[in-house]
Amino acid sequence: MSKTEDHLREAFAGESQANRTYLAFALAADKEGYPQAAKLFRAAAEAETVHAHNHLRALKAVKSTRENLAEAVTGETHEFKKMYPEMLKDAKAEGDKEAERSFHYANEVEKVHADLYQKLLDGLDTDKETYSYYVCPVCGYTSGKQPPDICPVCGARGKSFRQID
């Protein structure tokens, strides 16, 4: 790997983290009654997304939908089989209940994501149905077509799920 490729990967990671961080900061600013700060955080988050996408293009990391789905299955599977179980073990050992809950939620949802990606990949050329997805605002559980009545991961009410089109 060249230095430039290393730099692009590092920059992509940094811009991606800044995007998510600024969106979290925007939510906090909204809750605290600072709408202008929230707007600036959201605008900067969008700019960070532009930067991250530019870095991905320079890395030639976005491929065909079939290749992208296969990569997503691999990534999600790694997370729920290796990454999160190790993190969960450490959080439990350290007694960090909040981190343990966060890792548990993510681990359970990554299994769902891997399955959703695999099913879409398997039917990519034959199943042309389109529908919305629904995401739990507490744990990230994702379902297609309809939200569940109760989230199977965290117990949140299905009415609170966000529709993603």
In sign, the C-alpha dihedral spanning 67, 84, 137, 33 is negative
The tokens describing 120, both together, are 């879409």
pLDDT value at residue 2: 96
User: Span 86-90, mean pLDDT?
Assistant: 98
CA distance 150 to 126: 31
Structural domains of the chain in order of their starting residue, each with its CATH number: 3-59 (1.20.1260.10), 64-128 (1.20.1260.10), 130-165 (2.20.28.10)
The tokens describing 76, both together, are 């999600």
Determine contact, residues 69/120, Cβ cutoff 8 Å: yes
The tokens describing 159, both together, are 């009415």
Residue carrying the six token digits 């992509």: 12
CA distance 113 to 107: 10
User: Span 60-70, mean pLDDT?
Assistant: 97
Question: What pairs with residue 144 in β-bridges?
Answer: 133
pLDDT value at residue 70: 98
Whether the predicted pLDDT of 45 surpasses 90? yes
pLDDT band, very low/low/confident/very high, at 96 (cuts 50, 70, 90): very high
Angle between helices 84-94 and 97-122 (to 10 degrees): 170
pLDDT value at residue 73: 98
Reference 16, options 60, 52, 68, 65; nearest CA is 52
How many percent of the chain have pLDDT more than 90? 99
pLDDT digits (tens, 9 = 90+) for 98-123: 999 999 999 999 999 999 999 999 99
CA distance 17 to 23: 10
Q: What is the mean pLDDT of the chain?
A: 97
User: Span 55-71, mean pLDDT?
Assistant: 97
Whether the predicted pLDDT of 4 surpasses 90? yes
pLDDT value at residue 1: 81
